[in-house]
């Protein structure tokens, strides 16, 4: 197969785009998809200060590299979950990566916040992932707001987004459907959140990180019970295999034609968040989930 752009030998075949690319042209393709997402969905402007949530995995590091090459004003935040082995390794990968690319890196240590994930897991005695996710969302948002960032960018890719959409549809979870998309606008207490890789599949991001020589972290988290939405992802992969382009069409179709209806529904049903009396960040409960957790853990400060 020949490269669609330059006619050299193609290294990556992309049936969903009816195209194939050599290594250099593939990186151009990747970059154009990111730029298209930013422009069409109005994700951010050149003057925005962008905080990138860095986990050490291929998606977040690919995103950081691409936004840096495109000249955006970016910095990274790595949240150290204090999980033996995996947190140290992930932190080392993030540190090396940011040094090499000249990206300003912040590190937030959950041990210092009184919320090391292994302790949280012991205390709660139930699967820790949903609480871990809640803690990360809280600190990414809070750090961005406290430090003057106007946008928080995450490395969610097309497969993540389509699997989440499919799962929300299967449960007809109207509140989540109203909220899903590559850009969540800023609200009182919430920074603007964007997903610039939403047009790129897991396969495409993996190829990009490989071709760009990104040294990402493979160390699995010991609490992970496989990738999220694994079953839905495999169903959707089969669909994509039979009908190339299905995933992006399904997702773009939702954004362009269906999402609005759910957003209205959510407005009618939604509770208005109020500032948490302890930390000041929005909550619909008496205190926010993270402050409640800090209370349970006996954390100070």
Contact of residue 132 among ligand SF4, Zn ion, none (CB under 5-8 Å per partner type): ligand SF4
CB of 88 to ligand SF4, least distance (A): 13
The residue written with tokens 């154009």 in the block is 32
80, 111 Cβ separation under 8 angstroms? yes
Stretch that binds ligand SF4, among 166-174, 189-197, 217-225, 278-286 (CB under 6 A): 217-225
Q: Which of 108, 169, 221, 278 binds ligand SF4 (CB under 6 A)?
A: 221
Which residue's CB is nearer to ligand SF4, number 135 or number 165?
A: 135
Q: What is the DSSP string of 176-198?
A: HHHH-SSEE--BTTB-EEE-TTT
Q: Interface with ligand SF4 includes 203 (CB under 6 A)?
A: no
Q: Which of 111, 96, 202 is nearest to 157 (CA)?
A: 202
Q: Which of 37, 42, 46 is nearest to 205 (CA)?
A: 37
Stretch that binds ligand SF4, among 128-136, 137-145, 154-162, 168-176 (CB under 6 A): 128-136
Q: Interface with ligand SF4 includes 232 (CB under 6 A)?
A: no
Q: Interface with ligand SF4 includes 128 (CB under 6 A)?
A: yes
Q: Which of 18, 104, 224, 249 binds ligand SF4 (CB under 6 A)?
A: 224
Q: Which of 3, 132, 152, 291 binds ligand SF4 (CB under 6 A)?
A: 132
Q: Which of 94, 117, 194, 288 binds ligand SF4 (CB under 6 A)?
A: 117
Give the interface with Zn ion as residue ranges (CB under 5 A).
3, 5-6, 8, 22, 25, 276, 278-279, 288, 291
Q: What is the DSSP string of 21-90?
A: E-HHHHHHHHHHHHHHHHHHTT---TT-EEEEEE-SSHHHHHHHHHHHHTT-EEEEEEEE---TTHHHHH
């Amino acid at each position: 197969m020949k490269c669609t752009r330059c006619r050299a030998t193609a290294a990556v075949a992309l049936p969903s785009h009816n195209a194939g690319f050599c290594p250099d042209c593939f990186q151009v393709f990747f970059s154009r998809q990111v730029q298209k997402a930013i422009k069409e969905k109005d994700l951010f402007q050149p003057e925005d200060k962008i905080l990138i949530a860095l986990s050490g995995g291929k998606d977040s590091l690919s995103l950081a590299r691409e936004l840096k090459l495109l000249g955006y004003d970016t910095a990274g935040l790595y949240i150290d979950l204090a999980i033996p082995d995996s947190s140290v390794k992930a932190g080392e990968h993030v540190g090396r990566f940011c040094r090499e690319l000249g990206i300003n890196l912040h590190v937030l240590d959950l041990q210092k916040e009184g919320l090391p994930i292994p302790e949280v897991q012991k205390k709660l005695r139930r699967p820790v992932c949903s609480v871990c996710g809640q803690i990360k969302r809280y600190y990414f948002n809070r750090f961005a707001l406290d430090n003057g960032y106007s946008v928080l960018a995450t490395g969610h890719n097309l497969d993540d987004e389509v699997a989440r959409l499919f799962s929300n549809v299967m449960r007809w979870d109207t509140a989540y459907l109203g909220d899903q998309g590559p850009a969540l606008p800023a609200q009182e207490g919430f920074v603007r959140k964007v997903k610039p890789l939403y047009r790129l599949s897991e396969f495409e991001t993996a190829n990009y990180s490989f071709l760009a020589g990104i040294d990402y972290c493979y160390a699995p988290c010991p609490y992970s019970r496989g990738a999220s939405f694994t079953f839905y992802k495999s169903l959707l992969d089969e669909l994509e295999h039979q009908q190339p382009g299905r995933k992006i069409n399904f997702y773009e179709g939702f954004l362009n034609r269906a999402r609005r209806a759910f957003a209205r529904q959510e407005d009618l049903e939604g509770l208005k968040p109020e500032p948490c009396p302890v930390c000041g960040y929005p909550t619909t409960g008496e205190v926010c989930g993270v402050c409640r957790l800090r209370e349970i853990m006996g954390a100070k400060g």
